[in-house]
């Protein structure tokens, strides 16, 4: 077991050519673009939107992973908002 070497998982493998790298880069760019689009669709103020965008662009993988729970929370609270009771208006004048 000590002689087991991970030679099958080399970055210099014959199947990893420029086309594979280009497709991976294209998928990554699409993922970052979709994340930035999602940030712009959220009900954030300008400062939050700018800070999330900077985090996603400057620290791409961790930025997307940090933004993901926030996006899920916003989506869940927006979709389940019909279960909330409507707020009662304290100043009701009978109109």
- For residues 64 and 84, the model is more confident at 64
- What average pLDDT does range 60-85 have in this prediction? 76
Q: Give the pLDDT band of residue 86 (cuts 50, 70, 90).
A: low
Given a contact cutoff of 8 angstroms between Cβ atoms, the answer to whether 53 and 39 are in contact is: yes
Q: How much is the pLDDT for 60?
A: 80
More confident residue, 28 or 12: 28
Q: What is the DSSP letter of 88?
A: P
Dihedral sign (CA 50, 56, 59, 65): positive
| CB 66, CB 55: distance < 8 Å | yes
- Burial degree of 49 (CB within 10 A; 0-12, 13-18, 19+): middle
| pTM of the full structure | 0.62
Structure-token pair, residue 16: 């990893």
């Amino acid at each position: 077991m000590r002689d087991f070497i991970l030679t099958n998982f080399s970055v210099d493998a014959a199947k990893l050519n420029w086309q594979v790298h280009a497709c991976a880069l294209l998928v990554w760019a699409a993922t970052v673009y979709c994340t930035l689009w999602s940030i712009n669709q959220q009900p954030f103020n300008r400062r939050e939107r700018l800070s999330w965008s900077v985090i996603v662009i400057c620290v791409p993988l961790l930025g997307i992973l940090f933004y993901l729970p926030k996006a899920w929370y916003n989506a869940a609270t927006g979709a389940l908002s019909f279960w909330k009771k409507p707020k009662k208006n304290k100043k009701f004048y009978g109109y």
